[in-house]
Amino acid sequence: MAEKQSTPLEKAARLLDLVPYISTHQGVALSELASEFGISESELLSDLNTLWMCGLPGYTPLELIDLEFESGYVSIRNAEILQKVRLLTKDELVILLVGLDLLIKSIDPKRNDLLSAITDLQTKIKTIIGDIATIAPIVNSSYRAIVLNAITSRKNLQISYHSLIRDELTNREITPIELMVDHGYEVLQAYCHQVGAYRTFRLDSIAEIAISGIQQPLIEKPKADEAFQMQIAISNRIRSTLERFRITASQDAAAKSGSHTAFSFSQDWLIRSAMSTLAATEVLSPPNSRVELARKCRKTLDLYESAVFGKIT
């Protein structure tokens, strides 16, 4: 009958116990050592061969564990080196603390024993390096669960969404289609009933979410995104400004000032892009875009001239 082999976890735990035991029992016989740990001599020899390739950071012959067991008796010749206290650097402690933050957020809340042990370890580390490293998910995990539930049950969602383009919160009724990752962000592909078109929503921009329980049918032919266009004149920083508006121009055109036509599904995006070019862009048409741009610029200047900024020296 084949001998029962230890699991990897049992083997790792035994290896950690073997070193201090052999250090305090130099010259112990193989048979006695195998009996002490409840394993066969062949499995013990496998453990000793593994230990022979272990050691302290550096892993040169000076730091590797120097074992002697060919004679049938086991000794460690560099036990005094192994007794040296190993200290973690501050960078290593920060990495460990960040890892514990991630770990504690993934554990079942009912496992009070694990949560308590991790919290105690975090407290000990923070007494050494201070409370300088914490990590938190940017997406509420409960929101993700609600989205997945709505997709599975074929129900709509009511969301309060922060639009980065308009910088405002809007309430929407959407039909969720698929969760995916786009350029490192978790996004939801969905049909927005307010605009009658398909939209992509970043999960970290959702302020509130709930299953509506109402299954509105999708419009068979969703409204096409309205194409806004804006006539602009670029006076300086021409190449970077063209890239900002995603305008493709010839090498000659990119080298001199002139007028161009910018397109986007969002007029707000065009206006914000014009504001971000630091006076390099003048909006020529349409008139309503010129008026809106002037209004936003005036609002921004009012903020700088307000008492709040006046207190900053």
Q: Which fold has domain 8-82?
A: Arc Repressor Mutant, subunit A (1.10.10)
Domain parsing of the chain, residue ranges: 8-82, 90-129, 141-211, 228-304
Strand spans (E) along the chain: 28-29, 67-68, 73-76, 157-163, 168-182, 185-192, 197-202, 206-211, 228-234, 258-264, 281-285
Q: Over the stretch 107-154, which tens digit does the pLDDT of each residue have? A: 778 888 888 888 888 888 888 777 665 555 567 778 888 999 998 888
Tokens of 51: 């230990």
DSSP conformational letter for 52: T
- Percentage, residues of the chain above pLDDT 70: 83
What are 266-312's pLDDT values in tens digits?
Answer: 778 888 888 888 788 889 988 888 898 888 888 888 877 776 665 55
What's this model's pTM, rounded to 2 decimal places?
0.41
Angular region, 211: left φ>0, alpha ψ -120 to 50, beta rest: beta
pLDDT, tens digit, 9 for 90 and up, residues 38-90: 898 889 888 888 887 776 666 566 667 778 888 889 988 766 555 655 667 77
Q: Any idea how long the chain is?
A: 313
For 184-230, the pLDDT digits (tens) are 788 899 988 887 878 889 888 898 999 987 776 666 544 444 568 88
Tell me which residue has tokens 């959702």. 206
CATH architecture of 141-211: Roll (2.30)
